[in-house]
Amino acid sequence: MEHEIDLIVIGWGKGGKTLAGTMARAGHRVAIIEASPDMYGGTCINIGCVPTKALIHDADIRPGNGFDPGYFDEAVRRRDKLSAAMRAKNFFMLDGLDSVITITGRASFVSPRRIRVVAGEEILELDAKRIIINTGAVPAIPDLDGVQIGGRIHDSTTLQHAPLPGTLVVVGGGYVGTEFASMFAHFGSKVIVLDRGPRALKEEDEDIAAEVLGALNDVGVEVRVGASVQRIGQDADSAMVHYEQDGHVRAIEADAVLIALGRTPVTDGLNLEAAGIELTESGAIKVEERLSTSAEGVYALGDVNGGPQFTYVSLDDNRVVADAILGSGQRSTADRVAVPYTIFTTPPLARVGLSEDQARSRGLAIKIAVKKVPEIAAMPRPKIVGDPRGIIKFVVDADSDRILGAALMHVDSQEVINLVALAMRQGVTSATLRDSIFTHPSSTEALNEVLGSFNR
């Protein structure tokens, strides 16, 4: 079956679906291919950002603090209803365009310009002037004895639909592991985190990580560091995690185990060799700063290209490629400055730019403003909503007074960090931000006080 196509998009993630719509509205014939109807719209709305944050919200507002599987099941139903509505909307946004062909099937390269799609018993071959690889990433699974997703062993996708575990062991103390530990503890599970490093959240400054870990401790999460998992066993009744710590072999029995050791780009089955597309050492598709691959006319967007694994970065990938195809071709990933991120623990941790440790390791002359939220007089909002925990920390260039980085762990930090990031992009000094007028009562107004108290 042959079609004249200007652009083929493989995968329905944020960057690819947005670019598909942009190209179609500009008069181009577009085909978008998705392997599963359950993933129309991509990871974010189906198994990532939106559904997990819906669960976190329901966990945070849960009345009482006992173990309540019924409440969790209701939260999962609400999560599923929300994702289903967004999935249907995302499908119609493209399928409703006359110049878009939507195909459900598995795509692979035949040549740099030709894609084969297997859809059940049907096989289609499509040629296009340009091809976008937008296949995302999946949870990384270590090569350890007994570590296979299924039964009581889960990744971050399957755990969202598992029965609420009485005891949950989380393997990995990074961002995903920490966020899920917080969520399930708020649902009433007993959570134990095993991290093989000397401390969890190793990418954060020690004082910032301590505040997050303190919040986890408040809801009963136990974090065991220097814990190297050796194997995992399971039967019909429980799972058993065997690990080594301080030279001793130990074991924990649990109702469920979450493997939270990062995510890996999805390239299996694409037959990239047929197109001459190169990979990086980490298995991501190798791209240059305008996101073109080693095959002319083929681009890689989102998590599959090895960049920061955030949906908003994938959206910006779309802007880069749209400019390359429809615009001046000047936009690139090198233009990105001050890209923030948030870990949705309770309260959330948001960060942008350099940490103190990173700045000092580079030999930069810096000054530090840091205050714990309970000590900030001009920040009543966290007290109003009943969660006055957290810390605010700024890293500022000692000579220019420009903000180099910030870590905010408090109520509303996921919103305030965007203001800080914008200030950094525009070269706004800490003094200007300190003296700005903010609404009251808000979390943003804490900046007035914190940035007026450099202490080292």
Average pLDDT over residues 291-317: 97
Sorting pLDDT into bands at 50, 70 and 90, what band is 456? Answer: confident
Write out pLDDT tens, residues 48-84: 999 999 999 999 999 988 999 999 999 999 999 999 9
Average pLDDT over residues 346-365: 98
Write out pLDDT tens, residues 290-303: 999 999 999 999 99
Domains located in the chain, CATH noted: 4-139+264-335 (3.50.50.60), 153-261 (3.50.50.60), 341-450 (3.30.390.30)
Helix, strand and coil percent figures for the chain, each rounded to 5: 35, 30, 40
Average pLDDT over residues 133-162: 97
**Residue-level pLDDT at 90:** 96
User: Where do the H-state alpha helices sit in 96-123?
Assistant: none
**Residue-level pLDDT at 106:** 97
Residue 381 has pLDDT above 90, yes or no: yes
Residue 125 has pLDDT above 60, yes or no: yes
Residue 120 has pLDDT above 90, yes or no: no
Q: Which helix (H) or strand (E) element contains residue 356?
A: helix 356-361
Task: Read off the pTM.
Answer: 0.95
Write out pLDDT tens, residues 99-114: 999 999 999 999 999 9
Q: Write out 378-395 in H/E/C secondary structure.
A: CCCHHHHCCCCCCEEEEE
Share of the chain above pLDDT 90, in %: 97
Residue 1 has pLDDT above 90, yes or no: no
Residue 39 has pLDDT above 90, yes or no: yes
Catalytic residues: 440
Query: Among the listed ranges 3-7, 72-76, 436-440, which one has the minimum average pLDDT value?
Result: 3-7
Distances (CA, A) of 456 to 204, 379, 396: 18, 22, 11
Measure the CA–CA gap between 192 and 181, rounded to whole angstroms. 8
**Residue-level pLDDT at 3:** 55
The type of residue at 164 is L
